[in-house]
Amino acid sequence: MQERIGKIFSGLFGVSREACTDALSPKDIEAWNSVYHLTLVMSLEEEFGVQFSPDEIVELDSVGAIKAKLAQHGVAR
Amino acid sequence: MSQTNCDPRYARLKGLFPAAGHPLSLADAAGIQREVESLLGSAELPPPLRSLRIACLRGVTIEPLVPQIIAAFAERDFAATIELGGLGNYQFEVASADSFLLAGGFDVCVVLVRAESVLAGLDDPTANFGDLEGAMRGFLECLDTVAERFAGLTIVCNFGPLGPSVGRRFQSQNAASSRYAIGRANQLLAARVQEHPRMLLCDLDYLAQQIGAAQFYSPRNMATALQPFSTVGFQRVCREWADLCHLHYRGAAKCIVLDCDNSLWQGIVGEDGMHGIRLGEGYPGVCFQQFQRQLKHLRDMGFLLAINSKNNEADIRAVFDQHPATVLKYDDFAAVRANWESKADNMASIAEELNLGMESFIFIDDNPFEIEQVKFACPSVACAQVPAESWKLPELLSTLVRLDRLAVTVEDRKKAAMYQQEQRRKATRAGTSRIEDYLSQLELEMTIEPFHPERHLERAVQLLQKTNQFNLTTRRHSASELLALAESGSMILLASLRDRFGDYGRIALAIVTFADGIPSLDTFLMSCRALGRRAETMFLTAILERLGKAGQSVLRAEYIPSNRNQVCAKFLSEHGFMEFAGQLSPDGQCFERNLAFASSDVRAFYRVTIVESANRSNELS
């Protein structure tokens, strides 16, 4: 899961794989604004074949939170 | 396009795309967008990239999917930037005098508005759309205003299908309900777009049908972000925009070159015999017959067909002449190479015979080896492989974007017939020893007419965009630039040609501008299908005489070398122009000609008609 999330963050935000830690959040990446948050959500849905509810979308506010939510959707860690 | 010999920056951009057959993810698209932005920031774009500034008038959220747009255009070799109008603000932006649309120097304007925001009550099963024209009027007039005020290309998206609604079956029983209003509205849209020469329709409705509305839309995105499309749905939409621009700016292919055995029929005619091959009558023969029928339709749209096949010519000729199920006839092919030479050599010789550049061709074969060989020797030829499963064959041609057209001109329709006439003409030429004898028996006729904005715009722009070889300056004036030149008093003339073998239509164009009162030949071009009849000399002579009669004493001209126009490198010096050391444009060689001695011996072979206006003409001979 880390590998695939790292790929998305590197594609969308140009973040290196090493920098893509669980603590990474919108505070650390200027481009991770509300518009790119939707791009990120759609990228995650595209990559993992899941669909998040509007409430879940708001909660995806760090790489760690994304991993936890994906695990809830049955994606292997 | 071969990536072996191209600019490394271009190769790096192309390397960001996933391998063929793998989907392009949003993360890939975002990386491509960053690369395009960095290329646009550099001094010069690597060829064949072309920059494209897009404005978008929209009634939906697009922001999160902008990377997809940039990537779709990059896939078609456009380095695009996009500026979005305010959400739902399009009517104001079209009408306002200080609109971003008019100030921004955009090449393209995309209009993407949902049916729901144009037609009130679409979700009401009892709504009556009997007066749909009235309900659509405001939006259609908005499009008229865009056409009037925006000088670039406008792409108008039509309405996609409606989502599920209450009372669906009730609506289906009522012809005036919203269920049928969308289709009727799309007809009105298509009719209005057709009225504007610089406007194209993006058929969202078709795209949604192809992948299914449930896949195309995302109710979650709509509810949370006013963004109706799914990620895959929007990818289809922006690829369609890029394809439309690709066709608009680069033009269609011109010639489809076909293998025969296992491509136009199943089996090997040289071994199985004419009655042993499978064509028509059940699977898989019906698929090949359908493929032939599609090729015939493309021929009727003006694409040329040619054969490049390892066969004895007599064997394939027998199929085209005698097989009961063949749709294509021998005469449908503008060139035939049925021999045992390499297919790459045959491609070169077909290109020479038809006088076309390699980028004009699409080569279709079932054999991957032959395709690789042609790709290697002629990298700019687009190649497509006949699928191993014959039932997929009827889908092949529709996947090739450049086997499509945005408009069919009368000249296009005549083109296939013209090449046939050309073959007969070559046969005549072989029997004539001297060029003068040859010309004098052709019964050449040239008609010269001043450019008429309504009647000639489409053809004139087509000539400007497509003529590569006999083109002194290769200035690719757009429709709006051409209209501006006409408006500013430039002399713009078109010449059409006919001889006893056929009518070639309007084949030459000249633009003379008058900066500082001195006539200067901005553009002089002739379609290469008219070469070999001294028509270029006749046209120039008529222009020189016309300027002389108008009291002018000199004509300035330029030759700007390109990769393709060596054929006219000496044209000016051979026609009494003297080179001088001036510099009108970079790379250009400047010439000037005294208009006192304008006549030429070429008049002996031509009957020239000069049309001065729509209803008056005088004949000179």
How distant is the Cα of B67 from the closest Cα of chain A, in angstroms? 9
pLDDT confidence bin for B617, thresholds 50/70/90 = very low
Assign residue B340 the CATH number of its domain: 3.40.50.1000
The mean per-residue pLDDT over the stretch B531-553 comes to: 90
Q: Is residue B411 part of a domain?
A: no
As a whole number of angstroms, the longest Cα–Cα distance in chain A is 30
pLDDT confidence bin for B435, thresholds 50/70/90 = low
> Residue for token digits 């090729």?
B295
Residues B224, A54: C-beta atoms closer than 8 Å: yes
Q: Is residue B421 part of a domain?
A: no
Is A64 in the B-facing interface, judged by CB distances under 8 Å?
no
The mean per-residue pLDDT over the stretch B134-161 comes to: 93
Pairing mode of beta strands B304-310, B333-339:
parallel
Domain count, chain B: 3
Kindly list the residues from chain B whose CB atom is less than 8 angstroms away from the CB atom of residue A46.
Answer: 25-26, 231
- Greatest mean pLDDT among B208-212, B372-376, B590-594: B208-212
How distant is the Cα of B27 from the closest Cα of chain A, in angstroms? 4
Rounded to the nearest angstrom, the gap between the alpha carbon of residue A51 and the centroid of all alpha carbons in its chain is: 13
Give the up-direction half-sphere exposure of residue B485: CA atoms within 13 A in the CB hemisphere.
27
Could you tell me which chain B residue has the CA closest to the CA of A34? B64
Nearest-CA neighbor of B447 among B498, B378, B410, B409?
B498
Residues A13-25 have pLDDT tens digits of 999 988 999 999 9
Q: What is the DSSP letter of B602?
A: G
Q: Is the pLDDT of residue B249 over 50?
A: yes
Q: Is the pLDDT of residue B425 over 50?
A: yes
- Amino acid found at B193: V
Supply the pLDDT for residue B616: 39
User: Backbone phi, then psi, for B594, in 5-degree steps?
Assistant: -75, 130
pLDDT confidence bin for A37, thresholds 50/70/90 = very high
Helix (H) or strand (E) holding B208: helix B204-211
Kindly list the residues from chain A whose CB atom is less than 8 angstroms away from the CB atom of residue B63.
Answer: 35, 38
pLDDT confidence bin for B426, thresholds 50/70/90 = low
Whether residue B84 is found in the same domain as residue B228? yes
Supply the pLDDT for residue B603: 84
User: Backbone phi, then psi, for B481, in 5-degree steps?
Assistant: -65, -40
| Structure tokens, B460 | 């004139």
Q: Is residue B349 part of a domain?
A: yes
Whether residue B288 is found in the same domain as residue B389? yes
- Amino acid found at B58: R
Residue to test with chain B: of A3, A32, A34, A39, most B Cβ within 10 A: A39
Q: Is the pLDDT of residue B470 over 70?
A: yes
Could you tell me which chain A residue has the CA closest to the CA of B31? A11
Output B104 or B210, whichever has higher pLDDT: B210
The mean per-residue pLDDT over the stretch B472-476 comes to: 94
Q: Is the pLDDT of residue B156 over 90?
A: yes
Q: What are the Cα distances from residue B140, in Å, to B91, B296, B500? A: 11, 36, 47
Supply the pLDDT for residue B380: 86
Number of residues that make up chain A: 77
Is A56 in the B-facing interface, judged by CB distances under 8 Å?
no
Whether residue B307 is found in the same domain as residue B227? no
Whether residue B204 is found in the same domain as residue B275? no
pLDDT confidence bin for B530, thresholds 50/70/90 = confident
Residues B26, A57: C-beta atoms closer than 8 Å: no
Supply the pLDDT for residue B3: 41
User: A10-28 in b/e burial notation, b at 16+ Cβ within 10 A?
Assistant: bbbbebeeeebeeebeeee
Q: Is residue B422 part of a domain?
A: no
Residues A42, B65: C-beta atoms closer than 8 Å: yes
Domain of residue B296, residue span: 255-399
What does the angle CA B431 – CA B305 – CA B426 come to, to the nearest 5 degrees? Answer: 10
Whether residue B550 is found in the same domain as residue B603? yes
What fold is seen in the domain A2-72?
Answer: 1.10.1200
Q: What is the dihedral of CA B336, B338, B341, B346, to 10 degrees?
A: 20
Mean pLDDT in chain B?
Answer: 89
Pick the last residue of a domain from B232, B250, B268: B250
pLDDT confidence bin for B164, thresholds 50/70/90 = confident
Q: Is the pLDDT of residue B5 over 70?
A: no
Whether residue B484 is found in the same domain as residue B508? yes
Is A59 in the B-facing interface, judged by CB distances under 8 Å?
no
The mean per-residue pLDDT over the stretch B27-47 comes to: 93
User: Backbone phi, then psi, for B306, in 5-degree steps?
Assistant: -145, 155
Q: What is the DSSP letter of B278?
A: B
Q: Is the pLDDT of residue B432 over 60?
A: no
Least confident piece of the model among B407-411, B542-546, B558-562:
B407-411
Least confident piece of the model among A46-50, B84-88, B473-477, B520-524:
B84-88
Q: Is the pLDDT of residue B615 over 50?
A: no
Kindly list the residues from chain B whose CB atom is less than 8 angstroms away from the CB atom of residue A43.
Answer: 25-27
What does the angle CA B495 – CA B497 – CA B500 come to, to the nearest 5 degrees? Answer: 165
Whether residue B153 is found in the same domain as residue B135? yes
Output B341 or B82, whichever has higher pLDDT: B82
pLDDT confidence bin for B208, thresholds 50/70/90 = very high
Supply the pLDDT for residue B140: 94
Assign residue B222 the CATH number of its domain: 3.40.50.1110
As a whole number of angstroms, the longest Cα–Cα distance in chain B is 81
Supply the pLDDT for residue B619: 39
Whether residue B296 is found in the same domain as residue B394? yes
Supply the pLDDT for residue B621: 34
Per-domain residue ranges of chain A: 2-72
Supply the pLDDT for residue B499: 84
Whether residue B200 is found in the same domain as residue B277? no
Output B241 or B619, whichever has higher pLDDT: B241
Q: Is residue B26 part of a domain?
A: yes
Kindly list the residues from chain B whose CB atom is less than 8 angstroms away from the CB atom of residue A32.
Answer: none
Are B536 and B569 in contact by the 8 Å Cβ rule? The answer is no
Supply the pLDDT for residue B90: 87
Pick the last residue of a domain from B206, B222, B250: B250
Could you tell me which chain A residue has the CA closest to the CA of B32? A11
Supply the pLDDT for residue B224: 87
Helix (H) or strand (E) holding B189: helix B178-194
Spell out the long-range contacts of B384-388 with Cβ–Cβ below 8 A and sequence spacing 24 or more. Answer: B386/B259, B386/B262, B386/B263
Q: Is residue B444 part of a domain?
A: yes
Supply the pLDDT for residue B534: 87
Q: Is the pLDDT of residue B529 over 50?
A: yes
Q: Give the whole-angstrom CA distance, residue B530 versus residue B461.
A: 18
Whether residue B167 is found in the same domain as residue B260? no
From B27, B29, B225, residue closest to A7, measured CB to CB: B27
Supply the pLDDT for residue A20: 92
Supply the pLDDT for residue B429: 59
The mean per-residue pLDDT over the stretch B234-256 comes to: 94
Nearest-CA neighbor of B155 among B224, B44, B247?
B247
Whether residue B474 is found in the same domain as residue B537? yes
Is A7 in the B-facing interface, judged by CB distances under 8 Å?
yes
Supply the pLDDT for residue A53: 93
Supply the pLDDT for residue B1: 41
Q: Give the whole-angstrom CA distance, residue B543 versus residue B300.
A: 35
- According to DSSP, the residues that pair with B496 across neighbouring strands are B447, B506
Residue to test with chain B: of A10, A46, A53, A57, most B Cβ within 10 A: A46
Helix (H) or strand (E) holding B594: strand B589-594
Sheet holding B199-202, edge to edge: B78-84, B50-58, B108-112, B153-157, B199-202
Whether residue B613 is found in the same domain as residue B504? yes
Q: Give the whole-angstrom CA distance, residue B332 versus residue B170.
A: 52
Least confident piece of the model among B94-98, B233-237, B265-269:
B94-98
How distant is the Cα of B124 from the closest Cα of chain A, in angstroms? 27
